[in-house]
Structure 1
Amino acid sequence: MMITQMNYFKIKLMFFSIAMLCSTWFTGFANVADSRDSSFKTEDIAKIMKRVADWQFNTWHTKGFNHRKADWTNGACYTGIFALGNMKGNEKYLKALVDIGNDVGWNTGHIRFYADDYCVGQTYAQLYSKYREQKMITPFTLLADSIVAAPHDEPLNWRNNIQKREWAWCDALFMAPPSLAYLSTATGNQKYLDMASKLWWKTTDFLYDPAERLYFRDESYFNKKEKNGAKVFWSRGNGWVLGGLVRVLENMPENHHDRERFIKLYKDMLARIVRLQQPDGSWHASLLDPASFPVKEMSGTGFFCYAMAWGLNKGLLDEKTYLPVVKKSWVALTSAVHPDGKLGYVQPIGASPDKVDANSTEVYGVGAFLLSGVEIYKYMKAHPKAR
């Protein structure tokens, strides 16, 4: 049968209409799913956190660990898993962390003064504080004692593998200071916290740009520029800093001589960070040139959300200013969760802004997501009207 030109266009129009209808239906379905996942009801927050955590554990179980179990990548993930496991009814996650600790003999990495290699120490210290099994902190305590005893008198210039001996890059401020700070709380020995504070300010004096209120990743970025001519400030790098900062403060007594200095830095940085949030609630990989990497990025977003939600819970931040920012960022974070629990849009391991997509994932992104979710859960439980 011959199809006339008129009939051809009618048929084409019909298929186009059907396609548009399907597209509208699927978009509506997706929006319903996003609305559900980004709910601020405590039961919904708990549900999506468990979905993400269970996906991670299932991936480890079926595919194995992509990194050493005591590696910094997994160490960052464990921080979020511990926070989730510390919520009532979730002890299975803590028991899984204990199993991992037993598997590696509660050891850290092999390079004594390399911050990445003892990131896992913060989780060991937290587990010890809960279960009081000495084996959980014995190896890390010996390492920490050697860190405290070291002179730390080298300049932080990015050469001669300085990162293996000093905290010469901003990522280190999440890996190392919280580990010493949590050990201080676990043992009651303030020398670890005092060293964490001392070395924090050494790194800050070198890498912090007071005009921008952001940290360079390391010395090699001091003179680099983005495509738009702005300085290069990496989202996750500054997320590492703020995540580490609140974890140090979590262990710092009210009367500690450096506490107010930390709080001032915290508030100064967050006042800058909120101005860089994108309309969808996320932060892109490049903070000052988001158009060069025009896609949401979840590891930086996760750590920023965590740091702000923590401050709301501690009464350090103004609810009117910061709660809307936190809520928008949680919507962005939950929008990156696949139906099976995989967290997408996480920038791979790197040292500067880079591309991401829906399938990009990494364990530290999961850690940041869970840390954020737990703090938001606490806040919404205490302030149900804020939902």
Structure 2
Amino acid sequence: MRTLLPRYSLLLSLSFFTGLVTLLSGCVMTPNNQTSETSKDQLTLPSTSDITAVANRAADWQLAHMENFDYVRTFRDHTENPHGWIQGAFFVGLTRWAEHTSNPDYLQALVAKGEANIWKIGEKDWHADDQVIGYTYAAVAARKNDLTLVAPTQKVFKKIMANRATHSLEYTSDPTGEGEATCQRRWCWCDALFMAPPVWAAVGKLTGDPAYLNYVDEEYQATIDYLFDKQEHLFYRDGRFFERRSKNDKKIFWSRGNGWVFAGLPLLIEQIPANDPRKQKYENLFKTMAASLVKLQQPNGFWPSSLLDKDEFNVPETSGTGFMTFGLAWGINNGLLNRDDYLPAVTSGWRGLASTVNESGKLGWVQQVGASPEKILPEDTQLYGVGALLLAASEVSQL
């Protein structure tokens, strides 16, 4: 990404005044300002230009900070991996934002990323986390009508299908040391439903080979059967959380974990042919999750890190909120969710997100890398949080 920096240092010329007006137009969130009522201002969607200013400022800041990650509090080594899930999730968001705005600089950044990576996914190519960067490759390949850009990904996926893993989805330590858990050769943790299925489906759509979507449907259904709670209509992060409870004795449903699933569903649904009967199954899952999630949003616009225990970490959290806001806005835009019922949540969610982007474009209040709800600090940021914000902006701006 070194060659991108001069280009994006120039892009940081968005005026301070525009940024300040955008911030002040929302409700600046602090841990103690939650109210029991939603103000009229919170229900008024900002203008497209205001949304664009916030998203561009965040995208420009992140692209200008891709060499030294000393601003990341934890897991800097993972953040540095140009093929890994942290950068991959950011580029998913940038891909959507670049395509929506047709911004030539952002579109070029997608190409530059692929070229720098030689269009290869991660080293542990069987692992969902190392596959997510392929979403950007597929988007560039579609735009350029050049299937060679997904050929390395396609080769890996064919190998996986030819040697299907049959591990249990039980989350147990991997004695080989190749992964955190043996089951990660399958989608045994809910984050994987964002990382892998949209990429597989996109490659299938590009190549016209139904085998990829068949694989997705079989493995995704296995994960639903294992991790989806039929009472709460939410996903456990993995099997270790079935019996765990929060400090207030609530089931633990992680905001970002469910955000991964909820944001991944639109990316998957878009790749499924309209006449495929399986499409409705994923649309129904999306609508079921939406109905549950919208009830858990807090008055300040954010979703709590622990979805059923808002008091455990009573502070804003932007990565989960970004994914939820994207999903709800996409649902409205695509006719799956009633606008009157869900627009207030989208508006409040976006205003919350906008309030955490500072004048320079740095996004704050992003929970660091983890697997469950944890403490969040105002200055905490991460690339996947910016990706979530850009996903949200790509849909909210269309409302």
Is the TM value for this pair above 0.5? Answer: yes
Task: Report the number of matched residues.
Answer: 351
Counterpart AA for 1:109: G
TM-score normalised by structure 1 residue count: 0.87
What's the counterpart of residue 77 of structure 1? 90
Q: 1:145 to 1:350 in 2, by over 3 A?
A: same
Of 131, 135, 153 in structure 1, the residue corresponding to residue 148 of structure 2 is 135
Contact 2:167 2:183 in 1 (8 A): no
Of 141, 144, 157 in structure 2, the residue corresponding to residue 144 of structure 1 is 157
Give how far 1:62 is off.
6.1
TM-score normalised by structure 2 residue count: 0.84
Give how far 1:30 is off.
7.7
Give how far 1:170 is off.
0.4
What's the counterpart of residue 260 of structure 2? 240
**Whole-angstrom CA distance in 1 between matches of 2:189 and 2:214:** 20
1:1-387 paired onto structure 2 within 5 Å? 33-35=23-25, 40-61=46-67, 66-159=79-172, 160=174, 161-379=181-399
Contact 1:239 1:304 in 2 (8 A): yes
Counterpart AA for 2:83: A
**Whole-angstrom CA distance in 1 between matches of 2:357 and 2:101:** 24
Give how far 1:231 is off.
0.6
Higher Cα Rg: structure 1 or 2?
1
Give how far 1:144 is off.
1.4
1:25-84 superposed Cα distances (whole Å, 9 cap, x missing partner): xxxx98983206996211111111110000001111566984211110111100111111
Q: 1:63 to 1:281 in 2, by over 3 A?
A: closer
Q: 1:298 to 1:63 in 2, by over 3 A?
A: closer
Identity %: 38
Give how far 1:184 is off.
1.7
Give how far 1:147 is off.
2.4
Worse-matched range after superposition: 142-151 or 345-354: 142-151
1:110 match: secondary structure: coil
1:257-280 superposed Cα distances (whole Å, 9 cap, x missing partner): 211111111111111101100010
Q: 1:143 to 1:299 in 2, by over 3 A?
A: same
In structure 2, the gaps of 5 or more residues are 1-18, 28-41, 71-75, 175-180
**Whole-angstrom CA distance in 2 between matches of 1:313 and 1:260:** 17
Q: 1:133 to 1:33 in 2, by over 3 A?
A: same
Give how far 1:218 is off.
0.6
**Whole-angstrom CA distance in 2 between matches of 1:341 and 1:227:** 35
Which structure has more RCO (C-alpha within 8 Å, separation ≥ 6)? 2
Counterpart AA for 2:64: N
Worse-matched range after superposition: 215-224 or 58-67: 58-67
Counterpart AA for 2:244: K
2:80 match: secondary structure: coil
Q: 1:303 to 1:145 in 2, by over 3 A?
A: same
2:204 match: secondary structure: helix
Give how far 1:112 is off.
3.1
Contact 2:317 2:367 in 1 (8 A): yes
Counterpart AA for 2:290: L
Counterpart AA for 2:334: K
Give how far 1:96 is off.
1.1
1:316-374 superposed Cα distances (whole Å, 9 cap, x missing partner): 10011001110000011001111100000100000000111221000000000000001
Counterpart AA for 2:318: M
Cα RMSD, aligned residues only: 1.9
Q: 1:334 to 1:223 in 2, by over 3 A?
A: same
**Whole-angstrom CA distance in 2 between matches of 1:257 and 1:224:** 36
Counterpart AA for 1:148: M
